[in-house]
Amino acid sequence: MVWIPPCPFAFLEENLLPKPSKQDFMRCAYNEALKAWECGEIPVGAVAVVQHSLIARAGNAVETQQDATAHAEMNLIRMISNQRHDWRLADVTLYVTKEPCPMCSGAILRARIPTVVVGAWDPLQGCLGGRIHFNQALQAYHQISVEEESLQGACEQLLTTFFSLRRQQEKNADRFRIDPQQDF
């Protein structure tokens, strides 16, 4: 069981009326990431928007569901497809706090989602420009339009703080494990 640090960040105020901006939607995705953190997950959140209305929201749930595919974007895509009984999500704009990984970028492509708004870029695993770009790497029938959002700094800070707190705790745990042996 991986130790999860307590979340030091506060939820952002959500304002979805009368006409929300891109940042308003990203704030909702950010709050989903915080909820995921509080459930013991790596903090990533996503929301889906159709014609200026938020239609679904989800967070990472890999640990909770013990399912490697339960990333925020996958959970969101499943939720909407199940609701609609339709896998084609060609009218959906997806907002996500971290650039999608290979699995999620593939699912976005397959679901025909036309636009993804990204919070933090992922230079290690990101497949929408951070590491590679599926638009260029694959001969895809469908191109994904990728946009950046002004909440990028907060989204990056969320992940860097999460991993740095976890590393710090792991170091402390190592020290704690050694101490009793020295006493005896």
- 5 in helix, strand or coil? coil
CA dist 109 and 147 (Å) reads: 15
Who's near 124: CB < 8 A, 6+ residues apart? 130, 131
Binding mask 74-113 for Zn ion (x = CB under 5 A): ---------------------------x-xx---------
Selecting among 13, 14, 38, 73, the annotated active-site residue is 73
Is 99 a residue of the active site?
Answer: no
* Cα–Cα distance list, 50 to 5, 37, 56, 83, 149 (Å): 35, 26, 10, 14, 17
Q: Kindly state whether residue 71 participates in binding Zn ion, applying the rule CB under 5 A.
A: yes
- Judged by beta carbon, residue 75 or residue 93, the one nearer Zn ion is 75
CA dist 72 and 155 (Å) reads: 14
- Judged by beta carbon, residue 35 or residue 71, the one nearer Zn ion is 71
Residue 71 CB, nearest distance to Zn ion (Å)? 3
Residue 128 CB, nearest distance to Zn ion (Å)? 11
List of residues contacting Zn ion (CB under 5 A): 71, 101, 103-104
Q: Which residues have a catalytic role annotated?
A: 73
